[in-house]
Structure 1
């Protein structure tokens, strides 16, 4: 297929674009950030500019590319920025999604919309499935959920994919929780703090990409959860990371979210644990356990830290 991908320069795009190319698809990769015009190397596609918040740009790009499917990754993912500037969040995550969805409908092509476990309020005692009703508690989650509703109402052939705590991208693209812990290890920290009161399901970008490829080929449209297997707290993730690196010399201190309230004031669901129920029922769930995926990520993207820890 000829695929138009928005927001390609981020963490997920770093894994998804190469996976699509390996599968034989033609990818037209776009982003608002063009600091690196060839983020996938000389054999990958050049990164083109597209601001999905600009209705005319979206229309012109779709007309020029004439894709068979549009993969909509572009989003504002910062909870703090979204709460501080709701207009920006709704423009980027909701109105821009409407622009992309309307053009997909006009062209008669499917759309893939990447959403989030953050659409739930976190009050459920067990894992969220695709059959649970979203109830977001912050602007980011609300703007993404409104995007889901627009996609479902606008494009009959749609994939709405909810990811968990995204892991991937290496040193250049990873700015999430795992990267924060890795950076502290690299900087020589002897004590690291991690919260125990936020539960979720890490989602390894390469696993997500491979699972999504199977879903695209199936053309079984709908809403899906796509997270790695298992669950854990931020503390559990940090503990496994340190274990893989062999860093028993670093003290990991359990804290509550109040410890980071000044840096991260936006409310977060106490639980973002998801189960890929629909993928399971359809026999299409290829996501590995998160501990296995995280170990691979560290060994592939941060071998210097793994080797150093083994020598030590």
Structure 2
């Protein structure tokens, strides 16, 4: 196995790259801007030279609010780039692994979504991920789509580190902070997800699969647990979604179960609270040294 990884500076991509290196799996970081700038033929030659047999596409525009107001640019970033990379991979026979979102299912039920539930995205961002999924399944000979969500992990310095940002908020809030009591999801540790991705690739898995940590939670549950584990004496107040005045009509339910992975005997993700506690043992120390 020899990997090429886009988005290797992000939460998941950096974790996956580091884990692959620790396990002796060759992993090359791909700069999406440089690849598209060089054009299809040159990009294909670069990947041929690297000798990668699998491309894991972690890079994406994940700013849901920005995407809602910049739909064309969002589609270029999340669909156009994916199609470009698929065309790079196609004649080389490279397996394509696409990281999607459990947010694509939509807003039509309250129970966690299974892999077989219908997809009805409610935002531009999630519509772009759904379109990209369809392109992957149509154009790659051995496609793997992994739907995940509410990722946490990585260095405290990363801009999109949700857990680190909530701890900073708690330390500067003056004693109270607010969190959405109505939105559900599965907080998912990048270390757990990266471990599963490597297992999937080794097993030759193809198809579309949910992959999240066990146990649904509201944003309020999640933030409350972060604050408690950080030892901050802060009251987290459950707050209705309308208070946050979001532009994007994000689904109230992004929670999922991994029924297909369980059926295939490939699922052993821990409960999210267990993984969050393990992650925060090192994260809080990082924050204390800022």
Q: What is the CA distance between 1:229 and its match in structure 2?
A: 0.3
Between Structure 1 and Structure 2, how many residues are aligned? 289
Contact in 2 for aligned 1:52/1:99 (Cα 8 Å): no
Q: Which residue of 2 aligns with 1:250?
A: 234
Counterpart position of 1:186: 171
What is the rounded CA distance, in whole Å, between the counterparts of 2:168 and 2:52 in structure 1? Answer: 39
Encode CA deviations 1:237-289: one digit per residue, 9 max, x unaligned: 01111221233x2111111122211xx32111010001111111111112110
Contact 2:155 2:161 in 1 (8 A): no
Secondary structure at 1:253 match in 2: strand
- CA drift at 1:290: 0.4
Q: Deviations over 1:85-115 (max 9, x none)?
A: 1111111110110111122221112110000
Please give the per-residue CA displacement for 1:202-224, whole angstroms capped at 9, x wherever unaligned. 11000101111111111021111
- Equivalent of residue 280 in structure 1, options 250, 257, 262: 262
Please report the RMSD computed on the Cα atoms of aligned residues, expressed in angstroms: 2.1
* TM alignment of 1:144-159, pairs within 5 A: 144-159=129-144
1:40 matched residue in structure 2: none
Q: CA deviation at 1:7?
A: 1.4
Cα separation, partners in 2 of 1:293 and 1:52, compared to 1, 3 Å:
farther
Distance 1:52 1:217 in 2: 31
Distance 2:81 2:124 in 1: 16
Q: Following TM superposition, by how much is the alpha carbon of 1:65 offset from its aligned partner in structure 2, in angstroms?
A: 2.2
Gaps in structure 1 of 5+ consecutive residues: 34-48, 308-312
> Which residue is 1:12 aligned to?
12
Change (3 A) 1:80 1:52: farther
Say whether the 8 Å CA contact 1:119–1:135 is kept in structure 2.
yes
Distance change >3 Å, CA 122–CA 61, structure 1 → 2: farther
Give the corresponding residue for 2:23. 23
Matched, 1:169 2:154: yes
Gaps of 5+ in 2: none
In the TM superposition, 1:65-80 aligns within 5 A as: 65-80=50-65
C-alpha distance in 2 between matches for 1:28 and 1:50: 13
Secondary structure of the 1:105 match is helix
Assess if the C-alpha contact under 8 Å between 1:9 and 1:31 holds in 2.
no
1:98-155 alpha-carbon deviations (Å, 9 max, x no partner):
1111222211121100001121113222111111111101100000110000000111
CA distance in 2, matches of 1:31, 1:10: 12
Choose the corresponding residue for 2:249, options 242, 262, 267.
Answer: 267
Q: CA deviation at 1:50?
A: 3.6
In the TM superposition, what is the alpha-carbon distance from 1:14 to its structure 2 partner? 1.9
Going from structure 1 to structure 2, the CA distance change for 1:253 and 1:155 (only over 3 Å counts) comes to: same
Does structure 1 retain, via aligned residues, the 8 Å contact 2:186–2:217?
yes
Q: TM-score, normalised by structure 2?
A: 0.93
TM-score (norm 1): 0.87
Q: Which moved more, 1:151-160 or 1:173-182?
A: 173-182
1:71-110 aligned within 5 A? 71-110=56-95
Q: How many angstroms does 1:57 deviate by?
A: 5.8
